[in-house]
């Protein structure tokens, strides 16, 4: 009788030698995956650590009737208005060191599905308006997580291209220069939602603001300084310098109270002056 030869192959056709190579390949993949993950999370906190004093300065007192959900992202805070599908305001600290980051700008905008009323890319697509950052991407290049977070639509408003790439963008660059000069800034900006906004974009009918505001505090300057800006959502005649106003004026237009944690004498002084040339 012919003897049956012993077949070392298992039922699915692998020899022990093949199985060994598969184990080695799996180990290599795990090592590579671990290395990629480690690079992606290195030095990136879930929320940027902010000292108590700075956090208090970033808090804005808004009317109780204003719809608001507070969201802490890495590097900035958003008061989001679900009815308007955009932020009431965005606040952040910008330090000298953070202006030197090397994280590349991402290109894809994201809907934050955790936040009720967050707009979608479909709302902006072919709308004729830019996806205008409030906390700018160039201020978040110190952290990959911060860069990702600033592309959520909770940080975005419909902006005319003439504003976004004009006076607004130039003011963002100027703020980075000021952060280098004074060590750090506290910045708050957003759309003026107290005005009528008859124009809307997209399936969700996101209202298009007619104006935007920004307030900037250099608390470490000697003496401390603050300045405000109000810009039309379009071409800004005279540029950012002509749009400069007292912080008191921004408070009047928006109904918000900025930097209320400052001692009263300092708050009153910095908010009642507008000296662009001193910056």
Give the Cα separation of 202 and 200 in Å (integer).
7
Q: In the chain, helix, strand, coil percent, each to 5? A: 35, 25, 45
Given the residues 84, 85, 133, 145, the one annotated as active site: 133
Q: Is 18 among the catalytic positions?
A: no
Residues contacting residue 25 through CB under 8 Å, at least 6 positions apart: none
Separation in Å, CA 255 to CA 134, 152, 192, 202, 250: 19, 26, 10, 28, 8
Residue 266 gets the label, from left (phi > 0), alpha (psi -120 to 50) or beta, of alpha
66-71 contacts at long range (C-beta below 8 A, 24 or more positions apart) = 66/193, 66/255, 69/115, 69/116, 71/112, 71/115, 71/154
Active site residues: 133
């Amino acid at each position: 009788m012919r003897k049956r030869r012993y077949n070392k192959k298992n039922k699915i056709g692998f020899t022990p030698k093949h199985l060994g190579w598969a184990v080695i390949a799996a180990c290599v993949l795990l090592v590579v995956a671990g290395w990629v993950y480690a690079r992606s999370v290195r030095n990136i906190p879930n929320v940027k650590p902010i000292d108590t004093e700075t956090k208090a300065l970033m808090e804005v007192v808004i009317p109780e009737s204003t719809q608001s959900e507070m969201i802490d992202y890495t590097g900035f805070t958003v008061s989001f208005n679900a009815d308007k599908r955009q932020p009431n305001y965005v606040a952040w600290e910008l330090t000298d060191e953070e202006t030197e980051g090397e994280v590349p700008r991402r290109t894809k905008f994201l809907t934050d599905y955790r936040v009720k009323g967050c707009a979608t890319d479909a709302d902006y697509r072919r709308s004729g308006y830019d996806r205008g950052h409030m906390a700018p991407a160039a201020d978040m290049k110190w952290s990959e997580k911060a860069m990702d977070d600033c592309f959520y639509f909770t940080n975005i408003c419909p902006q005319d291209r003439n504003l976004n790439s004009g006076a607004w963008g130039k003011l963002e660059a100027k703020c980075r220069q000021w952060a280098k000069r004074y060590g750090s800034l506290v910045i708050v900006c957003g759309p003026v939602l107290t005005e009528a906004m008859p124009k809307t974009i997209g399936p969700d009918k996101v209202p298009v603001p007619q104006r935007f505001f920004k307030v900037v505090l250099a608390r470490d300057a000697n003496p401390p300084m603050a300045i405000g800006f109000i810009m039309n959502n379009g071409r800004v005649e005279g540029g950012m310098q002509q749009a400069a106003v007292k912080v008191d004026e921004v408070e009047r237009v928006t109904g918000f109270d900025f930097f209320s944690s400052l001692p009263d004498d300092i708050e009153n002084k910095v908010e009642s002056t507008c000296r662009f040339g001193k910056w």
